Structure 1
Amino acid sequence: MTEQKPLVLDIDGTLLRTDMLYENFWAGLGSDAPQTIKAAVSLFRDPAALKSVVYEIAPIRVDLLPVNADVLSMAKDAQSQGRPVILASASDERLVQAVADHYGFDGAIGSKDGHNLKGSNKAAALVERFGEGGFDYAGDHPVDVAIWDKSDRAIVVGGANGAADHYAAERVRHIAAEQKTSEIIRAMRPHQWVKNVLLFLPMIAAHQFDLKTIGLILLGMMSFSFAASCIYIVNDLLDLEADRLHAKKCKRPFAAGTVPIKTGMIVCAALGLSSMLIGAFLGWAFFGVVVLYMILSLGYSLKLKRLRWIDIFTLASLYTIRVVAGAAASQVDASVFMLIFIFPIFVTLGCVKRLTELTLAVDDNRLPGRGYGRPDRPDLLNVAVLGMVGALVIFFLYSFSEQAQTLYPSRWLLWVALIPIFAWLNRMVRLGWYGKQDYDPIVFALKDKRGIGLLLITVSLMFYSAGLWQQWFGF
């Protein structure tokens, strides 16, 4: 009887809202990047062997992979009617079997022994096992036409680019793919671009406010924004498992499967290239800073963020590089004192970031993909306070420098400015300790009205000390 015919499901893009080869590849990059890259290059023309090798490098947790709820529901309904449900995928057979076992399906067929079970190869295997027309098949890709031609019913997930439109309507069932390519904008995290206002600091410190300088810095911000989005995508792809274990990050586009990993990889490459092209236009000095930022960010994503304390100093370096980039883009000299002053501030903010994550953690275990647990909160608080005190001392010493004497005739106002600087840093640390701010302290700082007020008071005092208010407004 027709209703007893097996229901055969593809996995990638059909049962699951992801692709297991790409999942394995990025998991491999996170655990053993050299071996994964070597395998990808050497076995590029042998997909079955590549899938086997990357599976062995970094097995993935199938229970965390995002599932298409409609396809799963269809499969469970079929089983309740006595129909066997079989998974047939071009992924490594061991991984296919693991997915079948997890969902309680009745069988699994996958790639093995150098035989890539895709397209016509999969069609031949299914016909040999069930006979032509002896099964229904659910797939999502134009290559699945070869299998639909041999199946009784074609179940098309996501449209398959219209590849199944020529079949009679009674032979086809359509199911939504639950993927939204438009979500790639969210994956780029454009709200994080506000951090690139740090590029303006050298211009502000040098009191050089001409249109040319502002225009160059805006181009620099564009380059850094593209570079940052590129790295955010890389970071999300490397952190798929950790994000899926996180209460909030599990909703990120790649972790939730709302954006295909392949789409993310293409957009990532385009963003990186665009960033470097703009960087080259702004000069080799700026280009070098952008490349350094991307390399350090990649190192952070691959390894450094998992190392206690090193991750915080790396974060502080990434923020400081933005200030250096502002100087390189605008060709304004960055004061050594300014760089020494802002680095401990960013160390403090790095500690605040971890404090926030730990305060909001549900238990004392180490955070997924991080080197800290809740018992580390007192140590992080101590380092945050040391960074805050260090920044204030350096700012005070700067007020006696030759540059300060030249730029700020009323130096006593710089000492007054220490008060709102301390108030702002203390507020950030306190809110982090109590878990009352965003996971990214820079983004939070640029939305925090009280904090912005303290920063504006600081800048106003410095401008008044420099005589800029008198120069611009006559008072």
Structure 2
Amino acid sequence: MPLAVDLDGTLIATDLLWESLFLLLRRKPYCLFLLPFWLLGGKARLKCAIAERVELDPASLPYRQDLLARLREDKADGRHVVLATAAPKKFAEAVAAHLGVFDSVISTEPGRNMASHVKREALIAAFGDGGFDYAGNSRADVAVFDAARQAIVVAPDRAAARWHEANGGELFSAEKPTLKTHFKMLRAHQWLKNTLIFVPLILDHDYFDPYMMGLGLLAFIAFSFSASAIYILNDFFDLALDRRHPTKSKRPFASGVLSIPFGFAAMIGLLAVSGFVATFLPPLFGLVLFGYLLATTAYSLSIKRMLLVDVLTLAGLYTMRILAGSAATGIGVSFWLLAFSVFFFLSLALVKRYVELRSTELPTGERIAGRGYRSEDQEVIAQAGMASAFSAAMVLALYIQSSAVRELYSQPWLIWPLCPIVLYITIRIWVLARRNEMHDDPIVFIISDWRSQLVGGFGAFLLFYAGL
């Protein structure tokens, strides 16, 4: 009895149409304007047009290992195994050649989208009504289940699960998303970075003003939701790269625990909520937020692969959070604060690249995947990062000695310990990075590390007391 196996969502925990779409847009963004014209020619035309323009690595896909093991056993027993998929022929044949378990391939070709009833009729024509078993997972597979002798239901959606409850058949369950999975999708721990929005409030001594803090909180929410939306988009563009990374491969979309359509809907929802919250704040905040979205999107599409431009952009994005806090509350920010933030965050951005280079084994002359850096760049990156840390401390020292401090603080001499505190935090991070003991985002590390919390809290106390 032949066994026909669906690909998207069944054999692999993802959808190749979505995967190839984001792969195309990452490499050729202008194709976004061609998508409506391709779609007018039908879904098969859209799939084939995208497949013509991208190369997919079948080895990187998240295969369902339990089902794949079953297919290999059936193949070893001499069973005829067919890959029957709505994916375009180019992708289907690449997957079949990589796995080596399929005797034939039935797939989408121009003018014929091999899904639902079309797939059902093709299998009946090849093997007869009830002359095959079929493994599928979705609503589109229900029509094929009805024509099969036996159904193998894999990680079913609601429609396929209802069919299985009513008709029975073999079941391959999949990992269910948990609340933790959704928090990982949102990168909620990265929201800690958005506390930079409160910096203008703190430096202006408005932390006891409920109205001003309320404005800061609204800005924090809007920025956090926008940031999560961009993290999701970034995950879509980096699926293939993430799957080759030892830790990033466990991310919800790279591993296939969450589907790309679900993530896309979540991204739209997050942006909608962020935009709604921004309407309660001054228009200037909306402009800063929009600029942040443009910059982060550009970073995800191309800037992250540019040597040094990427870290300068990251430093700018951190500084934009401070500007957002200023725009939301109407509190001005000084040249000193902006200069300090650029040098300070440039040092931390360089830490991220340094850690990536240290943790990736590369032959001399080869770039790290998705970046513009080589293994021999480590020392230059470290030197630049340390120099940026000392530059930040120098700017802070010059600020403390300026007339602006004497206007804001009654005892400005109490602020001087901030300089060694900044140096302690940044140099310690670099020491840990060189010891291969830095595994977190530097900003998140500073906020969550008890030593950094202790010295940072002492610095905050000095700022507060100096302003009394």
Q: Which moved more, 1:328-337 or 1:302-311?
A: 328-337
Find 1:204's aligned residue among 190, 194, 202: 202
Find 1:188's aligned residue among 181, 186, 189: 186
Which residue identity lines up with residue 83 of structure 2 in the other structure? Answer: L
The answer (yes or no) to whether the contact 2:108–2:114 under 8 Å persists in 1 is yes
3-state secondary structure, aligned to 2:316: helix
Match of residue 97 from structure 2: 101
Find 2:154's aligned residue among 157, 160, 173: 157
Whole-angstrom distance in 2 between the partners of 1:202 and 1:107: 64
Query: What is the CA distance between 1:237 and its match in structure 2?
Result: 0.8
Match of residue 72 from structure 2: 76
Matched, 1:425 2:430: no
* Residues 9 and 406 of structure 1: CA distance in aligned 2, closer, same or farther (over 3 Å): same
Whole-angstrom distance in 2 between the partners of 1:93 and 1:179: 30
3-state secondary structure, aligned to 1:233: helix
Percent pairwise identity:
35
Whole-angstrom distance in 1 between the partners of 2:165 and 2:448: 56
Whole-angstrom distance in 2 between the partners of 1:179 and 1:32: 34
Whole-angstrom distance in 2 between the partners of 1:115 and 1:445: 55
Match of residue 140 from structure 2: 143
Q: How many residues align?
A: 462
The answer (yes or no) to whether the contact 2:38–2:49 under 8 Å persists in 1 is no
Match of residue 82 from structure 2: 86
Unaligned runs of 5+ in 1: 469-475
Query: What is the CA distance between 1:167 and its match in structure 2?
Result: 7.2
Match of residue 56 from structure 2: 60
* Residues 166 and 241 of structure 1: CA distance in aligned 2, closer, same or farther (over 3 Å): closer
* Residues 261 and 409 of structure 1: CA distance in aligned 2, closer, same or farther (over 3 Å): same
* Residues 168 and 83 of structure 1: CA distance in aligned 2, closer, same or farther (over 3 Å): farther
Match of residue 240 from structure 2: 241
Match of residue 229 from structure 1: 228
Query: What is the CA distance between 1:83 and its match in structure 2?
Result: 0.8
The answer (yes or no) to whether the contact 2:425–2:446 under 8 Å persists in 1 is no
Q: Which moved more, 1:78-87 or 1:10-19?
A: 78-87
> TM-score, normalising length from structure 2?
0.95
Matched, 1:353 2:348: no
Match of residue 29 from structure 1: 25
Query: What is the CA distance between 1:373 and its match in structure 2?
Result: 2.5
Deviations 1:79-120 (A, max 9, x none): 122111110111101111111111112111111122111111
The answer (yes or no) to whether the contact 2:153–2:164 under 8 Å persists in 1 is no
Match of residue 39 from structure 1: 34
* Residues 415 and 157 of structure 1: CA distance in aligned 2, closer, same or farther (over 3 Å): same
* Residues 121 and 386 of structure 1: CA distance in aligned 2, closer, same or farther (over 3 Å): same
Query: What is the CA distance between 1:258 and its match in structure 2?
Result: 0.7
Match of residue 472 from structure 1: none
The answer (yes or no) to whether the contact 1:137–1:153 under 8 Å persists in 2 is yes
Query: What is the CA distance between 1:377 and its match in structure 2?
Result: 1.0
Q: What is the RMSD computed on CA atoms of the aligned residues?
A: 1.8
Deviations 1:217-255 (A, max 9, x none): 111111111011001101111100110111111111111
3-state secondary structure, aligned to 1:109: strand
Q: Which moved more, 1:82-91 or 1:153-162?
A: 153-162
The 4+ residue runs of structure 1 with deviation greater than 3 A are 162-171
The answer (yes or no) to whether the contact 1:138–1:156 under 8 Å persists in 2 is yes
Whole-angstrom distance in 2 between the partners of 1:260 and 1:160: 11
Unaligned runs of 5+ in 2: none
> TM-score, normalising length from structure 1?
0.93
Match of residue 410 from structure 1: 411
Which residue identity lines up with residue 265 of structure 2 in the other structure? Answer: I
Alignment of 1:263-282 (within 5 A): 263-282=262-281
Which residue identity lines up with residue 92 of structure 1 in the other structure? Answer: P
3-state secondary structure, aligned to 1:180: coil
